[in-house]
């Protein structure tokens, strides 16, 4: 698989480096993704340790004769079993170890991302009153209270903000805002403590959206299924800055 001329996402990069830990492609992705850099480094260390183990010179492993086993029709003969040497056992163990590490690493990231996406969509289902068409903006005082200076700095350039409230997502209190889009209200969730490696698509019954990585946090933007979100994404990203 050639990937040097295209931008990788996390899944593509991990599949590629899992097949070849010495892979040099994906430098652009690695420069922006600390999670995948750590994954690659750990995989290379594991690969080196396995290679060293396979280089150990040991005599064949001779198993003792067990009376009666070789004569059973449904059991592999003892002579066949004795031919498996320790290096072969090392190779088998190494293969299982690599598969386990890759599975755990990739499953952990996927589960975290799915959990956050489900939390966001579930929260929208439980707060439908926020999605009201309105031309009345929230006051600056309300916005400052919901988006305090120690969390983020946000101006009104993201759009007409008609709803602002502090809500709990994934066990953390976050600003929940609503702006007016072209097809109706659009939900904005500012999550400074929810770091993700790559953008996550959100799909509800009648909604669509995205969770975008922003520094060490993320921002969820969700609108009606027919709502064009690209312009809103750009304006929200340019209007929000995490406080340090």
CATH of the domain at 175: 3.40.1000
Residue 26 lies in a domain: yes
Residue 101 lies in a domain: yes
| pLDDT tens per residue across all 244 residues of the chain | 444 445 667 777 777 877 787 888 877 777 777 777 777 888 787 777 777 766 666 566 565 665 555 545 555 454 444 444 555 555 555 555 555 555 544 444 444 555 788 888 888 877 777 888 888 999 989 999 999 888 888 877 778 899 999 998 888 899 999 999 988 999 999 999 999 989 998 887 788 999 999 988 999 999 998 999 998 898 888 888 898 6
Domain that holds residue 196: 127-242
On whether both 132 and 117 belong to a single domain, the answer is no
On whether both 201 and 144 belong to a single domain, the answer is yes
Domain ends where: 93, 121, 149? 121
149 Cβ contact partners less than 8 Å away, ≥ 6 residues apart: 243
**Alpha carbon distance 222, 228 (integer Å):** 10
pTM of the model: 0.54
Domain ends where: 101, 121, 141? 121
The number of domains in the chain is 2
Task: Give the number of C-alpha atoms closer than 13 A to the C-alpha of residue 42, restricted to the C-beta side.
Answer: 13
On whether both 82 and 138 belong to a single domain, the answer is no
């Amino acid at each position: 698989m050639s990937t040097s001329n295209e931008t990788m996402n996390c899944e593509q990069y991990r599949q590629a480096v899992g097949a070849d830990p010495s892979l040099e492609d994906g430098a652009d992705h690695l420069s922006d993704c600390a999670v995948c850099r750590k994954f690659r480094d750990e995989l290379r260390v594991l690969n080196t340790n396995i290679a060293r183990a396979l280089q150990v010179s040991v005599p064949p492993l001779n198993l003792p004769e067990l009376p009666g086993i070789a004569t059973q029709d449904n059991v592999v003969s003892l002579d066949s079993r004795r031919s498996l040497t320790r290096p072969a056992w090392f190779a088998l163990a190494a293969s299982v170890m690599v598969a386990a590490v890759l599975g755990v690493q990739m499953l952990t990231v996927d589960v975290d991302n799915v959990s956050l996406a489900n939390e966001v969509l579930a929260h929208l289902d439980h707060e439908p009153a926020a999605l009201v068409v309105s031309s009345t903006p929230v006051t600056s005082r309300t916005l400052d209270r919901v988006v305090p200076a120690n969390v983020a700095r946000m101006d009104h350039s993201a759009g007409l903000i008609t709803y602002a409230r502090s809500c709990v997502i994934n066990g953390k209190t976050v600003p929940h805002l609503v702006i007016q889009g072209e097809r109706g209200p659009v939900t904005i969730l500012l999550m400074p403590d929810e770091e993700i490696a790559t953008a996550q698509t959100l799909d509800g019954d009648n909604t669509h959206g995205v969770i975008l990585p922003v520094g060490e946090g993320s921002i969820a933007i969700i609108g009606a299924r027919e709502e064009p979100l690209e312009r809103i994404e750009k304006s929200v990203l340019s209007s929000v800055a995490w406080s340090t």
